[in-house]
Amino acid sequence: MVIDCKHVWNYISEYMDGTLSDETRDTVQKHLDHCEICSAILDSTRSVIILVADDRVFELPVGFSERLHARIDLEFMAP
């Protein structure tokens, strides 16, 4: 089976997660092997996800941990 680019786009996310059926995955794989545009979409999606998920993007405020544990002490551990 041959599918066009727009169909491939619908499968990008599941392709990344490895949750497509074997048949669909092979069809998508074949398309990706020769389509630069769809390969670039897949690569850029992966890259964007890696950057967003980087620990340095969403950081805990300074002192967060200390304040949290102090609060827990105050609520539950006070003598």
Partner 1 sequence: MKVPQISNRTEAELIAAILGGEIQLYHELIRPYERSVYVMALSYMKNEADAEDVAQEAFVKAFRKLESFRAESKFSTWLISIAINETRTRLRRKALVRMESLDQPPDEDKSISPALLRDWREIPSEAVEREEVRNLIHLAVEQLPEIYREVFLLRDVEELTINETAEALKITIPSVKVRLHRARMRLQKQLAPQLRTVNRASKRGWLAWS
Residues at the site binding partner 1, with contacts judged by CB under 8 A: 6, 9-10, 12-14, 16-17, 19, 36-37, 40-41, 43-45, 47-58, 60-61, 64-65, 67-69, 71-72, 75-77
Question: Whole-angstrom Cα distance, residue 25 to residue 11?
Answer: 9
Q: How far is the CB of 29 from partner 1 (least distance, A)?
A: 18
Cβ-based neighbours of 15, under 8 Å, separated by 6 or more: 25, 28, 42
| Residue 3: DSSP 8-state | -
- Smaller CB separation from partner 1, 29 or 47: 47
Q: How far is the CB of 59 from partner 1 (least distance, A)?
A: 8
State the chain's maximal CA–CA distance in angstroms. 71
